[in-house]
Amino acid sequence: MAEAGIEYVRLAEFSWGVIEPTLGGLDFSWLDEAVDILADHGLNVVLCTPTATPPKWLVDEHPEILQADPDGTPRHFGSRRHYCFNSPRYREETRRIVSEMAAHYADHPAVVGWQTDNEFGCHGTVRCYCEDCSAAFSEWLAAKYDDVGDLNEQWGTTFWSQQYASFEAVDPPRPTPADHHPSRLLDYYRFATDSVIEYNRIHADLIREHGDWFVTHNFMGDFETLDMHKVSNDLDLVSWDSYPTGFVQDRRAADPSMDELRAGDPDQVGLNHDLCRATNDAPFWVMEQQPGDVNWPPSCPQPGDGAMRLWAHHAVGHGADAVLYFRWRRCLEGQEQYHAGLMKQDGSPDRGYNEAKAAAEELTTVDVDHVDASVALLHDYDNWWAIGVQPHAPEFDYWEHLRCYYRVLRARGVQVDVVHPDAPLDDYEAVVAPGLHLVDTELADHLTQFVEQGGQLLVGARSGVKTPANQLHETLAPGPLADLTGLVVDQHESYPEDVPLAVEVDGDEYAATIWAEWLDPDPQTTVVATHTSGPGAGRPAVTRRNRGDGSVTYCGVWPGSELLDELVAELLSRGGIKHTSRLPDGVRFNERDGLTWVTNFTSRQFELDVPMGAVVSGGQTLGAFDVAVVSTAPHLISISNEAS
């Protein structure tokens, strides 16, 4: 490992069964040996609490710790993540094992930090429907609402006679003949994420009691059910697990191209990097970087030559301070035998080994601070959940919608922070808010202040429609944002993705899809685009108005990339944000502390036009799945449009 340039080694996730083979029979000897060997070679260790896999003896003794499906079927032993976050018994067992482990390694100099559990919520396990969760949900509601009358009013339970006489009467949302109440679902989703937060805090608090360590958790990519903004409040360091060629297959609407099967989608990966970085406004880690082919996507082609090196650089360019690979060596047994490691099962180096080593050598020459971004993309799990409960169009996915905006911004070579709407916006020149669905007056004031003080704001469709309780505002959309945006939405409509929609801007036609709103702008508001399709033809589709020292643009459609690029380019120009011409698909720039990473996620070759001597790493010719690090700003770099 040391020879490969590795500095940090993560250990012991899922290890409860060997740490405690029988109740109370603790055995750290094997782990001690491993940690000592690593320490002897100058490697730092990140330990994991082993709670993601309660052993069978514990399940047999206390079957009530198992999660339950909505219909009551237990989530049985035999894989992982089968425990309920709200089980009092499991919380007690968690405290016991975490305390024992933290105490045991309290003085070990090689142990620098801890990962809590592993991939909270993986396999759909944030939301559980067991009796412990039922009781905990009632308590959570009691803590949130003044009384049950307040709950009934906030949710609006008169509809379909859904009134509750007590908090205890509110169950988890189990199978029903028709749709669940959207306010009840939204609160259940909030409760479920809060259950994980509480459970994570048990770990974090106990670990900190025993040492001056950093505490992190390895989040998953494109993951909806767990509020990363909130969980991260209890973490010193945000990290996540990045599997580019899997993600393009199993968590994105569009079918992957051949290049994407080889290297992934830089914007899909980048959006997660930028969320991790911006959440705690600090460098993040990739705790698991894909080391080669893996076991779980539908298909498992070999990554392109260079892809593993590319991903490491790409992460650093986005603000990562460490990239760890999962796993070191292919495992002979169990569910992940088809998961590559840096080493093959016979101990010989696999494809990823040499690439990881090369990346490590190149990156040791680089010393960079935190990434600065001028653009904020607002992101909020409540909006994700609220739109997910009532998408009103099969293809309207909140995260896909955000990625459309992100992709166009990134194609202009700018850095993007993905931040919660409530976050301070003073450091940004431009703010982009797609699908800002749940808005109250406080948030509207926050955004108004940003604009009045000179900020450029781009608001997307479906914004301001609902209260935070998931009721419609009594006023027309965008509700509390109507004054700021200078319009109301007369009508909204949704379409299958294959129905082409169109708008017109200055005589040119642009494509849109899935969603259309007919806008009624104020006299002070300028019409930027007009519908040219459907019964709304001739009605405004995109508007803009100046307000104080800034401006606000409202985009009442799911915009095609051409239309969105027009809006984004104007936004960046108004904000004085330096940007590039549109980059080729799959090529992205990441600026960090004076250096720019030029990453090529395609099999094509490009020539860079940069100042003499500016190339710090790589070369002027950017090969397939190649990277160059350049000591100049993105807007000063030109790239040939597919040389050779």
Q: Shortest approach of a second copy to residue 359 CB, angstroms?
A: 18
**CA angle (371, 377, 379) in 5-degree steps:** 115
Cβ-based nearer residue to a second copy, 61 or 442:
61
CA distance readout (Å), 517 to 103, 463, 531, 584: 59, 11, 9, 31
Q: Please tell me the distance from the alpha carbon of residue 569 to that of residue 548, in angstroms, as a whole number.
A: 21
**CA angle (165, 167, 173) in 5-degree steps:** 100
- Classify residue 151 as left (phi > 0), alpha (psi -120 to 50) or beta: alpha
Q: Please report the beta strands in 177-306, taking only residues with DSSP state E, as ranges in sequence order.
A: 214-219, 237-242, 284-289
Any residues with CB less than 8 A from the CB of 642 and at least 6 apart, and which?
A: 584, 604, 605, 606
Q: Which two tokens stand for residue 454?
A: 């000179």
Q: Shortest approach of a second copy to residue 392 CB, angstroms?
A: 5
Q: Which residues pair with 472 in a beta bridge?
A: 466
Q: Shortest approach of a second copy to residue 69 CB, angstroms?
A: 7
Report which residue type is found at 63: P
If one counts every other C-beta atom within 10 angstroms of the C-beta of residue 58, the result is: 21
Q: Please report the beta strands in 428-525, taking only residues with DSSP state E, as ranges in sequence order.
A: 430-433, 456-460, 487-494, 501-505, 508-521
Q: Shortest approach of a second copy to residue 67 CB, angstroms?
A: 7
Q: Shortest approach of a second copy to residue 249 CB, angstroms?
A: 9
Q: Please tell me the distance from the alpha carbon of residue 296 to that of residue 575, in angstroms, as a whole number.
A: 43
Within 87-215, residue ranges assigned H as helices are 88-104, 131-144, 148-155, 182-210
Q: Please tell me the distance from the alpha carbon of residue 225 to that of residue 58, in angstroms, as a whole number.
A: 27
Q: Which two tokens stand for residue 593?
A: 């502390």
Cβ-based nearer residue to a second copy, 208 or 492:
492
β-strands 416-419, 375-378 pairing:
parallel
Helix (H) or strand (E) holding 375: strand 375-378
Cβ-based nearer residue to a second copy, 120 or 213:
120
**Catalytic residue, candidates 288, 355, 362, 566:** 288
Q: Please tell me the distance from the alpha carbon of residue 513 to that of residue 499, in angstroms, as a whole number.
A: 7
Closest CA to 634 of 405, 310, 317: 317
Which of the 8 DSSP states describes residue 471?
Answer: P
Q: How distant is the alpha carbon of residue 66 from its chain centre?
A: 27
For residues 128 and 135, is the Cβ–Cβ distance under 8 A?
no
Q: Which two tokens stand for residue 457?
A: 């704001």
Helix (H) or strand (E) holding 385: helix 381-389
Q: Which two tokens stand for residue 348?
A: 């010989």
Active site residue 361: no
**Catalytic residue, candidates 119, 260, 355, 591:** 119
Q: Shortest approach of a second copy to residue 317 CB, angstroms?
A: 23
Any residues with CB less than 8 A from the CB of 631 and at least 6 apart, and which?
A: 594, 595, 596, 614, 615, 616
CA distance readout (Å), 184 to 161, 163, 384, 436: 13, 11, 15, 20
Cβ-based nearer residue to a second copy, 454 or 534:
534
Q: Shortest approach of a second copy to residue 17 CB, angstroms?
A: 3
Q: Shortest approach of a second copy to residue 72 CB, angstroms?
A: 7
Q: Which two tokens stand for residue 335?
A: 């569910």
Q: Please tell me the distance from the alpha carbon of residue 495 to that of residue 152, in angstroms, as a whole number.
A: 33
Q: Shortest approach of a second copy to residue 467 CB, angstroms?
A: 9
DSSP 32-99: HHHHHHHHHTT-EEEEE--TTS--HHHHHH-GGGB-B-TTS-B--SSSS--B-TT-HHHHHHHHHHHH
Cβ-based nearer residue to a second copy, 127 or 314:
127
Q: Which two tokens stand for residue 160?
A: 């379909």
Cβ-based nearer residue to a second copy, 78 or 507:
78
Cβ-based nearer residue to a second copy, 75 or 357:
75
Active site residue 288: yes
Q: Please tell me the distance from the alpha carbon of residue 411 to that of residue 409, in angstroms, as a whole number.
A: 5
Which of the 8 DSSP states describes residue 472?
Answer: B
Cβ-based nearer residue to a second copy, 55 or 435:
55
Q: Shortest approach of a second copy to residue 28 CB, angstroms?
A: 15
Any residues with CB less than 8 A from the CB of 375 and at least 6 apart, and which?
A: 409, 414, 415, 416, 417, 428, 429, 430, 431, 432, 572, 575, 577
Query: What residues act catalytically?
Result: 119, 288
